[in-house]
Amino acid sequence: MSGIYIHIPFCRKACHYCDFHFSTSLSLKSELLACIEKEIELQAGTIDNTKIETIYFGGGTPSLLSAIELESILNKISHRFSISTEAEITLEANPDDLDKAYLDELASIGFNRLSIGIQSFFDEDLQYMNRIHNSEESINCIRLVQESQFDNFSVDLIFGGHTTNDEHWNKNLEKASNLDIPHLSIYGLTVEPKTALNHFIKSGKYPPLDDLKFGRQFSYTQAYLSSMGYEQYEVSNYSKKNYRSKHNSAYWSEKQYLGIGPSGHSFVNGARFYNISNNAKYVEAIKNSQIPQKKEILSPTDLYNEYIMTRLRTIEGLRISRIHSFPIFLKKYFEYAKEALIESNELIQAEDQCYIPSDQRIFTDRITQSLFYVA
Ligand code: SF4
């Protein structure tokens, strides 16, 4: 199984916390979309003889493209790759872009899943994050989606921000659950370098983020969503039965994927490829039939660390038999390092599986790091 990710690097407004690659200038849009199609051609054959099971348009804001622009890219993918008839085809969308006509068009050109950046149902939080939409648009958009052909959709929500007090956060979850949203991606706000949020904290406009609030809201989310029938199948992802994201699950399962567009990255045949995060340079290189990317061949240790990092984020955890397929020094290191974690109930081993129990999932980063092999 393989997946294709298409990065659309444009947004209408810069959210204060965001460090993804995007530009708020649309001046290069037409040229860049033509280059994405050309990169699809250049990449054809990279993952030979495998069915594409998932296609994901992320960004940036892919929903600022017209259905005609999106269809043209989808057509190019289907001409150059073999797409499974059951493929999950997702579009990331901002609420203000979705209306009935656009939703109908998206369904008719082949999209069968939406991932909607709601972030909060409170205007105070949305203004703090510098989101382009308001709370009324959030609710209206979800109702429109539910009346459309999309029964498979996800909503992003962000906790831990300065304006997101416990009352807001609990109500956000209640609203999401009452609206019967089948999949929720729940992210804790982080402060990334080169973001406006980082500048605001450095300049004293805001205090540092509150770790205790972060922990409280994370734990409340787990308890509340579990009581409402959601499964936390990955640290940041909750789904109702049969609504797990296939695309993201492939990232956590050592599956190969292609990332196309500026800042896209790929994992093919044990190597990682990183496309340049610069729209103008990307366009210039692709026009010359060069893919502007860096290649990193992953060593067995890199692959081991990555396996630990991705699999322990999931509810199933890792497979001991897979660990045993790594070179003996890594297998021995794992056997040694896991003992203390099992002793302290931070890790559970059950036959071939090893996973982080629900009450320890907030510490996933620390637990996985203690299993990393560092030469
Ligand atoms: S819309 Fe998404 S990609 Fe664009 S700035 Fe906001 S968070 Fe970042």
Split the chain (375 residues) into runs of 10 and give each run's mean pLDDT.
Answer: 93 97 97 98 84 96 98 97 96 97 98 98 98 95 97 98 97 97 98 97 98 97 98 98 93 90 94 97 98 96 96 97 97 96 97 96 97 93
Question: What pairing do the DSSP bridges indicate for beta strands 231-234 and 183-188?
Answer: unpaired
Could you give the count of Cα atoms lying within 13 Å of 24 in the half-sphere of its Cβ? 6
Question: What pairing do the DSSP bridges indicate for beta strands 231-234 and 237-239?
Answer: antiparallel
**Locate tokens 């150059």: which residue?**
80
- Ligand 1 proximity of 23 Cβ (cutoff 6 Å): no
- Ligand 1 proximity of 67 Cβ (cutoff 6 Å): no
Closest of 255, 288, 252 to residue 47, by C-alpha: 255
Q: Which pair of structure tokens corresponds to residue 350?
A: 């059950």
Report CA(299)–ligand 1 centroid distance (Å).
Answer: 33
Closest of 352, 344, 361 to residue 325, by C-alpha: 352
Residue 359 carries which DSSP code? G
Which is the closest atom of ligand 1 to the Cα of 119?
A: 7
Domain boundaries, the chain: 2-250, 299-375
Residue to probe by mutation, ligand 1, list 5, 8, 15, most atoms within 8 Å of CB: 15
Which is the closest atom of ligand 1 to the Cα of 131?
A: 6
Report CA(55)–ligand 1 centroid distance (Å).
Answer: 20
User: For residue 319, how far is the Cα from the chain centroid?
Assistant: 23
* Beta carbons of 114 and 145 less than 8 angstroms apart: yes
**Helix (H) or strand (E) run with residue 374 in it:** none
Closest C-alpha residue for ligand 1 atom 3:
60
Q: What is the pLDDT at residue 375?
A: 81
Q: Domain 299-375: state its class.
A: mainly alpha
Quote the Cα angle for 304-307-310, to 5°: 150
pTM: 0.96
**Helix (H) or strand (E) run with residue 364 in it:** helix 364-369
Q: What is the pLDDT at residue 108?
A: 98
Residue to probe by mutation, ligand 1, list 6, 13, 17, 20, most atoms within 8 Å of CB: 20
Which is the closest atom of ligand 1 to the Cα of 18?
A: 8
* Beta carbons of 168 and 135 less than 8 angstroms apart: no
Closest C-alpha residue for ligand 1 atom 8:
18
* Beta carbons of 44 and 83 less than 8 angstroms apart: no
Closest of 363, 299, 246 to residue 307, by C-alpha: 299
Question: What pairing do the DSSP bridges indicate for beta strands 2-8 and 52-59?
Answer: parallel
Torsion angle in degrees (nearest 10) through CA of 25, 96, 186, 84: -80
* Beta carbons of 97 and 145 less than 8 angstroms apart: no
Q: What is the pLDDT at residue 1?
A: 61
Report CA(209)–ligand 1 centroid distance (Å).
Answer: 20
Closest of 157, 156, 163 to residue 124, by C-alpha: 163
User: What is the CATH number that goes with domain 2-250?
Assistant: 3.20.20.70
Q: What is the pLDDT at residue 253?
A: 84
From first CA to last CA, the distance across the chain in angstroms is 32
* Beta carbons of 142 and 181 less than 8 angstroms apart: yes
Closest C-alpha residue for ligand 1 atom 2:
60
- Ligand 1 proximity of 62 Cβ (cutoff 6 Å): no
Closest of 68, 175, 183 to residue 114, by C-alpha: 183
| Cα–Cα distance, 25 to 14 (Å, whole number) | 11
**Locate tokens 């510098």: which residue?**
130
- Runs of H (alpha helix) within 179-317: 196-202, 211-227, 246-251, 279-287, 300-311
- Ligand 1 proximity of 135 Cβ (cutoff 6 Å): no
Q: Which pair of structure tokens corresponds to residue 247?
A: 């695309």
| Cα–Cα distance, 20 to 8 (Å, whole number) | 11
Q: Where are the beta strands (DSSP E) in 47-133?
A: 52-59, 83-93, 113-119
| Cα–Cα distance, 11 to 24 (Å, whole number) | 5
| Cα–Cα distance, 131 to 138 (Å, whole number) | 11
Report CA(323)–ligand 1 centroid distance (Å).
Answer: 37
Amino acid identity for residue 77 in this structure: I
Q: What is the pLDDT at residue 69?
A: 98
- Ligand 1 proximity of 225 Cβ (cutoff 6 Å): no
Report CA(23)–ligand 1 centroid distance (Å).
Answer: 10
